[in-house]
Amino acid sequence: MIETEIRMLLAAPALGEGAPSRAAIEHTLTAGYARAMALEAEQGRLRRRMTDLAVSAADGEVESHASELRSHAARLHASERELLQLRELIAALRTRAAQARAA
């Protein structure tokens, strides 16, 4: 999981022995950005599907879509939390990358 990789890099020494290479940091940053984009895309799909379900519910199909709507809402909420945490980790790793570039 990319979050674990980022945490490991952040826990490592910034400089000297045991410090991750600049390439490792940059690679992990790229993977983090890709994961963030995937989460954003998933959120967009969930929101569109929820909108479709809400429109169907307005047309009188409430019972048949309520369970799916609840499921998507829970997934959306979890995805939003994950993205927020990932963005915080990416910001910290971006700072570490800047330090590695400066060294």
- For the chain, the domain total comes to 1
pLDDT tens, position by position, 32-52: 999 999 999 999 999 999 999
Please state, in angstroms and rounded to a whole number, the distance separating the CA atoms of residues 66 and 45.
17
pLDDT tens, position by position, 62-90: 777 788 999 999 999 999 999 999 999 99
Q: pLDDT band for 2, please (50, 70, 90 cuts).
A: very high
Domain range for 66 is 2-102
Task: Compute the half-sphere exposure of residue 88: CA atoms within 13 Å on the CB side of its CA.
Answer: 6
pTM of the complete model: 0.87
pLDDT tens, position by position, 3-15: 999 999 999 998 8
Q: Is the pLDDT of residue 94 over 80?
A: yes
